Amino acid sequence: MTTAARRIASDAGFTGSVPDLYDSLLVPMIFEPYAADLAGRVAALRPSRVLEIAAGTGVVTRAMASALPAGVELVATDLSQAMLDRAAAVGTSRPVLWRQADGTKLPFGDRSFDVVACQFGVMFFPDKVHAFSELRRVLRPGGSLVFNTWDRLEANEFADTVTQALARHFPSDPPRFMARTPHGYFDPSAIRADLAGAGFKASPSVETRAERSRAPEASVAAVAYCQGTPMRGEIEARAGGSLADATVACSAAIAARFGGGPIEGLIQAHVVTARG
């Protein structure tokens, strides 16, 4: 495994208290608007069997469970069993098959699904062409891959503010998780090239959507990013400061930019649809 691949693999470390903080703080702050949009797009395709990759704590799963007709089979997978456990504990409006699975080595047969959906997960694939080819493998002819990926860091204001604050807090070795992975796969031309390399013949649709991220106060956003993502491990590995100190520094930076009470900022992502 290359150094870059090892780094991305470590970035997928949603363990310990991260799943609970992720689901309770980060999901309502940045993921829910895009979950509703993605579920609506999947429902409009009128599938009979849907596979979700990188389901996390189930925000898109819950949205699709409500948006899809009762007869549609919904299979939700994630690499992290801890994230799936949280998703299953929260539950859905109707039965869903939860299954731990690696998106690059899916335990499903060829041409098994009408739609493969993935919300903010493709950035974590070490080899994106290989991963996309695996997702294409399980699509039925004419099926669709629907996913979203965050736009550049600067277009996502809370994440950008946290990244800048951590660079000041750890000037000799700043944590770069946000820029490297969640916001590291934002170039539509690169996305199109990877999908073509994976065998998707038609040019994919790429739509950029801006939404608003909201939190009751700056400290909530700081805890969400510093302690509810794999960046927590990156912060804890740094010398010269604690996780608590780093969180406080990020909270102060967010409050300085957005205010001390209820806050909101820009979030922006690409929504991609590719035909198999």
Structural domain for 143, as ranges: 3-152+184-214+266-275
pLDDT of 245 over the 90 cut? yes
Tell me whether residue 67 is in a domain.
Answer: yes
Question: CA-to-CA distance for 82 and 153, rounded, in angstroms?
Answer: 27
pLDDT of 1 over the 80 cut? no
Predicted local confidence at residue 9, as pLDDT: 39
pLDDT of 77 over the 60 cut? yes
Tell me whether residue 196 is in a domain.
Answer: yes
Tally of domains within the chain: 1
Question: CA-to-CA distance for 177 and 8, rounded, in angstroms?
Answer: 9
Predicted local confidence at residue 47, as pLDDT: 98
Name residue 273's amino acid: T
**pLDDT, average across residues 95-123:** 97
Predicted local confidence at residue 16, as pLDDT: 54
Portion of the chain with pLDDT greater than 90, in percent: 90
Name residue 244's amino acid: A
Question: In sequence order, what are the beta bridge partners of 118?
Answer: 53, 147
CB 180 within 8 A of CB 192: no
Q: Going by C-beta distance under 8 Å and a sequence separation of 6 or more, which residues neighbour residue 4?
A: 126
3-state secondary structure of 225: helix
pTM score of the predicted model: 0.91
pLDDT of 15 over the 80 cut? no
Distances (CA, A) of 249 to 46, 218, 222, 244, 276: 47, 11, 9, 9, 46
**pLDDT, average across residues 56-82:** 96
Comparing 22 with 153, the larger pLDDT belongs to 153
CB 122 within 8 A of CB 151: no
User: Can you tell me which residue has the tokens 């400061």?
Assistant: 241
Q: Going by C-beta distance under 8 Å and a sequence separation of 6 or more, which residues neighbour residue 206?
A: 188, 191, 192, 270, 271, 272
Portion of the chain with pLDDT greater than 70, in percent: 94
pLDDT band at 239 (very low <50, low <70, confident <90, very high): confident
Tell me whether residue 75 is in a domain.
Answer: yes
Predicted local confidence at residue 17, as pLDDT: 64
Predicted local confidence at residue 73, as pLDDT: 98
Tell me whether residue 170 is in a domain.
Answer: no
List the CATH number of the domain containing 59: 3.40.50.150
Tell me whether residue 252 is in a domain.
Answer: no
> What region, left, alpha or beta, does residue 259 occupy, with left being phi > 0 and alpha being psi -120 to 50 degrees?
left
Tell me whether residue 176 is in a domain.
Answer: no
pLDDT band at 276 (very low <50, low <70, confident <90, very high): confident
Average predicted confidence (pLDDT) for the chain: 93
187-225: pLDDT as tens digits: 999 999 999 999 999 999 999 999 999 999 999 999 999
pLDDT of 12 over the 90 cut? no
User: Can you tell me which residue has the tokens 């809370």?
Assistant: 158
SS (H, E, C) 59-96: HHHHHHHHHCCCCCEEEEEECCHHHHHHHHHHCCCCCC
Predicted local confidence at residue 131, as pLDDT: 98
Tell me whether residue 124 is in a domain.
Answer: yes
CA 145-71-272 angle, to 5 degrees, is 15
Tell me whether residue 175 is in a domain.
Answer: no
CB 243 within 8 A of CB 112: no
Question: CA-to-CA distance for 171 and 186, rounded, in angstroms?
Answer: 26
